[in-house]
């Protein structure tokens, strides 16, 4: 029996037990976990075969948390949520599939503007993470007009490392300009490792390096690191308030 056939048989067995069990809540949980595990593996296979999106799909975190759970992705949401107030406006820079905006921030915001480049990214985000309060714009953050004094929060997750040092400073200054006075800019980036990804133009080697760049645009900078034992990686987080 193949692994797929085994999982299908497991699901069938659970469904049969549900029909005989008046209190089947635990069976429902088991069924959810089993189906989530199948879906997560399917997404990975699609990615390896060159189908769908070409970055990590954050649905894995919900579909198969026993394997995919990472403290870093939780802190990526917790960091801005500590500063986000009800009925805020938010700019999600390099939003990717807009997963964080859809599942963590949308209930706090009357409007979230997500920006990323590429029609494939936009179509994928609209397909799986659409919401009336989320608007998606296909544009290059380096050349796009992000507005001025417009947002209560700007957010960029796991993306700043794809830019050169000069472009990072440019993005920070554009984020600061887009914020209203008292607004917050939050984000994170992986700490530089011996073997960095080829698509990472500039990783930070320390918190001090990141602070120096952020202080090109912000005065009030808080920066800290979180080590993830499962992924064996350290992520640097920051939050900056516009005066």
| Buried/exposed code over 147-166 (b: 16+ C-beta within 10 A; e: otherwise) | eeebbbbbbbbbbbbbbeee
Task: Please check whether residues 183 and 234 belong to one and the same domain.
Answer: yes
Q: Which of 23, 40, 66 is the last residue of a domain?
A: 66
Task: Please check whether residues 134 and 226 belong to one and the same domain.
Answer: yes
Sign of CA dihedral 148, 222, 73, 53: positive
Question: Is 21 a residue whose pLDDT tops 60?
Answer: no
Task: Please check whether residues 178 and 223 belong to one and the same domain.
Answer: yes
Q: What is the pTM of this model?
A: 0.87
Per-residue pLDDT band for 109 (boundaries 50, 70, 90) equals: very high
Here the CATH number for the domain that contains residue 166 is 3.40.50.150
Task: Please check whether residues 74 and 55 belong to one and the same domain.
Answer: no
Half-sphere exposure of 98 (CA within 13 A, CB side): 28
Task: Please check whether residues 40 and 90 belong to one and the same domain.
Answer: no
Q: Provide the mean pLDDT of the chain.
A: 89
Residues 143-195 pLDDT 10s = 999 999 999 999 999 999 999 999 999 999 999 999 999 999 999 999 998 77
Task: Please check whether residues 42 and 95 belong to one and the same domain.
Answer: no
Task: Please check whether residues 95 and 19 belong to one and the same domain.
Answer: no
Task: Please check whether residues 105 and 212 belong to one and the same domain.
Answer: yes
Task: Please check whether residues 209 and 123 belong to one and the same domain.
Answer: yes
Number of domains in the chain: 2
Task: Please check whether residues 175 and 215 belong to one and the same domain.
Answer: yes
Residues 179-237 pLDDT 10s = 999 999 999 999 998 776 677 889 999 999 999 999 999 999 999 999 998 878 999 99
Give the range of the structural domain holding residue 194, as residue numbers without chain letter.
Answer: 70-241
Question: Is 17 a residue whose pLDDT tops 70?
Answer: no
Dihedrals phi, psi of 233, to nearest 5 degrees:
-150, 155
Q: What is residue 121's DSSP assignment?
A: H
């Amino acid at each position: 029996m193949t692994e797929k056939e085994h999982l299908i048989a497991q699901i069938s067995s659970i469904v049969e037990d549900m029909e005989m069990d008046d209190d089947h809540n635990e069976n429902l949980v088991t069924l959810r976990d089993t189906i989530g595990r199948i879906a997560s593996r399917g997404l990975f296979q699609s990615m390896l075969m060159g189908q769908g999106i070409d970055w990590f799909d954050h649905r894995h975190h919900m579909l198969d948390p026993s394997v995919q759970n990472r403290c870093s992705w939780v802190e990526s949401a917790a960091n801005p949520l500590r500063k986000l107030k009800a009925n805020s406006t938010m700019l999600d820079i390099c939003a990717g599939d807009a997963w964080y905006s859809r599942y963590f921030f949308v209930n706090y915001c009357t409007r979230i503007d997500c920006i990323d480049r590429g029609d494939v990214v936009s179509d994928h985000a609209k397909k799986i993470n659409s919401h009336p309060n989320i608007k998606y714009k296909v544009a290059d953050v380096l050349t796009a007009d992000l507005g001025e004094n417009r947002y209560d929060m700007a957010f960029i997750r796991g993306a700043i490392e794809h830019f050169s040092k000069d472009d990072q400073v440019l993005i920070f200054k554009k984020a600061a300009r887009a914020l209203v006075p008292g607004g917050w800019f939050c984000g994170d980036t992986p700490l530089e490792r011996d073997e960095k990804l080829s698509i990472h133009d500039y990783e930070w080697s320390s918190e001090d390096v990141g602070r120096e760049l952020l202080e090109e645009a912000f005065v009030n900078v808080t920066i800290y690191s979180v080590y993830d034992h499962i992924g064996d990686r350290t992520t640097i987080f920051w939050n900056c308030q516009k005066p």
